[in-house]
Amino acid sequence: MYTTQSKIRNIIREELYVPNHLRAQPYPAYIFERTYVTDILGIKLPLNESYPYSLATEKRIIQEQLLMEGFFGDLMVRGKEVADDMIEKGKAKLMSAKEGIAKFGKEAWSILTAFWAVIKGGASDIASFTKRIARRGFDKFFSQIKAALTFLAEKLPGWGMPTFGGWAEKGLEMLTSFREKVVGLDGWKRVIGFAGLAVGLHYIWDKVGEWIEELKEKIGGDFKALIGLEEADGDETAVDKAKGAAKEAVSGAVIDWIKDTAKEKLKEFGGGGLKKVMEQLASVASGVKPWWDAAVKIAGGAKLVVDALGGAASAFMGRKSAAEKKIELSETRSRQGEFILREYIRALLTEDQAARSSIAAELRDNPEWAIGSSVNQPLFKQGRFLKQLFHKYADASFLNSLITIHWAGSPKEAVKLATRGSSKDEISTNAYMPGKVTGGSLGEYGVLLKGHVSLLANDMDDIWTGKRQSYETADIPPQRTQSSGLNKTIFRAKDPDTYEMGSPLLVLDKEDWRPNISDGGEMHSNEALVDNWKVVGFVQAPWDTEDEELMDNELYVAGDNLGIPLLTVNDINKGMY
């Protein structure tokens, strides 16, 4: 299986995604995978609708999933233990064939389980199966019924039978509209809709088919030749010929025969009964067993239903061509490859989610964790505890791989940090992946530092660590600065749930890396606290600074005196330091 980076990113988003409605419910995440939503649930997502889904889309996905589960529930193994297992594994389990045949009958079981297999196969299987139903189950009947009704709706009013003509026209409109509605369905409802239409057309043909065949024979064997279809090319001579042919073909005796026999046949189309039947056959509101029972009752027995659907079901389940099997094998391998990839990613994300859940749990259990924020007073107790948890659960090797830069608004500020700052004082930096350094959010001049990352957040606004002046005016215990330097802390403590759910707030490992980036992707506004640091170099933010410009730069002069190199962003990304 060839997998692009984009594909992997989408899988990770899908596996990470927990919808708002399901935070506390053990519902499988697979129902929110885009292909499942579009191909099986049949929900058309806009191109701009991606993770996280809007509230309205979440609700619709859940409702559609529950509707599908309810419809096919009669086929599934029952029992709380099995149901919970199905939810956990994301798999629904069919009852045994023996149980199914005893409950539904052999023919019904084979057709209904074919429905389920088709739907679980996704878009390609649904398309293949519904084409088979159309080809084997209703295309022939629909075209003949449509031609006959079109002929009768056009001719009967002129032959003194306007009521019969109205019935024919009403039936034509109903069948055409119903077919268009079914063809427009997607996902699992498309399978049920096509099946219902096939049974309905077989039912109609059983009622009026022999009469239509006899009528067709009496008028010369071609409805289309007698309803002015030649008018499409605008040839008036052809139209006159068609009308003449109709007049000669439909004699008075034939018209009298229609008057004597049409009422019983066309009344099927004139009332609302046929429409009700068709709607019932395409409905997914009840369940698969009530649907089957209704189809059998309407059809007057299982034979007609089997005639409508059995061929397509058996062809799909047991008579695939070698070419189809080859394609299926390729698709299966692709699905297996994606499944393995998903399992691997899911395992990694499960570990990551477990760490975030543990942090949230320990925050909830800590009586000193008070939710709130303060502009002037650091939250020392909360900050100390949060950093302890970060140290406990973060991936140290990942943190050591990051590049950290403290950005300043002027060369003087950068030089001041390098010459007067204490490496024992924790300092705020922007963090970057190797080779991915861009500008900072707080200035164009920076100091490249290497040290111990004690806290890392995707967005600095989620922790607020404040400027040094905030600590100088705050009430700080003396022991915080005497031996270990100034330890920064947070000014904002959030609800423990926010450290667990949704987009990662703290960055514990690579899977959590989602830095807040602004200004067209040029500015990072994440935050890493770094202590026990050393200066590696001064940084000039512009990418294309010429050497002569660097030599005139205040940072270059200071760095030359201090033995600290002046680097551009490109230098850092190329590892030239």
pTM, entire model: 0.53
pLDDT confidence of residue 83: 41
Question: Does the pLDDT at position 13 exceed 80?
Answer: no
Structure tokens at 133: 């139903």
- Over the stretch 402-424, which tens digit does the pLDDT of each residue have? 999 999 888 888 888 888 777 77
Beta bridge partners of 254: none
Give the Cα separation of 340 and 377 in Å (integer): 50
- Over the stretch 479-525, which tens digit does the pLDDT of each residue have? 444 444 578 888 889 888 888 877 789 999 988 898 887 655 567 78
What is the rounded average pLDDT of the residues 539-546? 62
Of 135-144, 204-213, 240-249, minimum mean pLDDT range: 240-249
pLDDT confidence of residue 163: 92
Beta bridge partners of 379: 490
- Over the stretch 348-381, which tens digit does the pLDDT of each residue have? 555 667 788 889 889 989 998 988 887 777 888 8
pLDDT confidence of residue 82: 42
CB 198 within 8 A of CB 137: yes
Give the Cα separation of 460 and 431 in Å (integer): 11
The one-letter code for the residue type at 379 is L
* Cα distances (angstroms) measured from residue 504 to each of 357, 404, 429, 494: 11, 20, 19, 13
Give the Cα separation of 35 and 69 in Å (integer): 18
**Cβ neighbours of 326 (radius 10 Å):** 11
pLDDT confidence of residue 291: 92
Of 100-104, 290-294, 471-475, minimum mean pLDDT range: 471-475
Closest CA to 534 of 501, 569, 560, 563: 563
Note the helical H segments in 483-563. 547-551, 554-562
Domain coordinates of the chain in residue numbers? Answer: 120-318, 351-573
Note the helical H segments in 219-321. 236-249, 252-270, 273-281, 288-299, 302-318
CB contact set of 126 (below 8 Å; sequence gap of 6+): 39, 118, 119, 187, 188, 190, 191
Question: Does the pLDDT at position 139 exceed 60?
Answer: yes
pLDDT confidence of residue 25: 46
Residue owning tokens 């398309």: 127
Confidence of residue 189 (pLDDT cuts 50, 70, 90): very high
Give the Cα separation of 572 and 577 in Å (integer): 7
- Over the stretch 295-345, which tens digit does the pLDDT of each residue have? 999 888 899 999 889 888 888 876 544 444 554 555 555 555 665 666 555
Rg of the chain, C-alpha, whole Å: 36
Question: Does the pLDDT at position 466 exceed 90?
Answer: no
Q: 425 or 479, which is more confident?
A: 425
pLDDT confidence of residue 233: 44
